[in-house]
Amino acid sequence: MTNYVLAFVNERNAPEVSDQPRVEVDSWRLVQKMNGDAHLLVLMQGQALRVTSRIAHFDAVAAVLTTESGRGYRLLSEPEHRELQVGLLRENANRVGLGDAADISVDLWSIVSVASMGLLVETRRSRAPCTSIGTACDGFRLFR
């Protein structure tokens, strides 16, 4: 295994939501803090790392996570699995205090996959935003 030294440079905020209301991502992981808040870790076009604000809404059918700030992130592919890219995403999460957050990427992608097959059933029990993956998600419940 090769050891790397990683330095974060040119740190800045994401563009305003009005300038970039939706982002399509293909290199991502999702983490969840102990309090239930979930955050998306994104490698933007292989160049810039981003940790989103708290996920406020999850549309499993459209594969879109909407953050508290209002930006939508459309997941184009399964969670990142390449070792170097996952390491970069996790190190950026560590840098902003999410080092102890649980990685729930596989759980989220399972829900997206099932939703794409039309296997989510709407329920009236819960209309809460999906921040607790694997339970009720914005009015939908996944039956396994």
Q: Are strands 22-25 and 72-75 parallel, antiparallel or unpaired?
A: parallel
Is the whole model's pTM more than 0.85, yes or no? no
Please answer whether residues 94 and 103 qualify as being in contact, where contact means their C-beta atoms are separated by less than 8 angstroms. no
Strands (DSSP E) found in the chain: 22-25, 28-32, 38-44, 48-51, 55-59, 64-67, 72-75, 102-103, 120-122, 136-137, 140-142
Reading the chain (144 residues) residue by residue, the pLDDT tens digits are 566 655 555 566 777 887 788 999 999 999 999 988 999 999 988 788 999 999 999 888 899 999 999 999 999 999 999 999 999 999 999 999 999 999 999 989 988 888 777 765 444 444 444 444 444 344 444 433
Cβ-proximal residues to 79 (8 Å cutoff; 6+ apart), any chain: 28, 29, 30, 105, 106, 108, 109
Ramachandran category for residue 60: left, alpha or beta (phi over 0 → left; psi -120 to 50 → alpha): alpha
Which pLDDT score, from 0 to 100, does residue 116 have? 77
134: alpha, beta or left, given left = phi > 0 and alpha = psi -120 to 50?
left
Q: Where are the domains of the chain?
A: 22-142
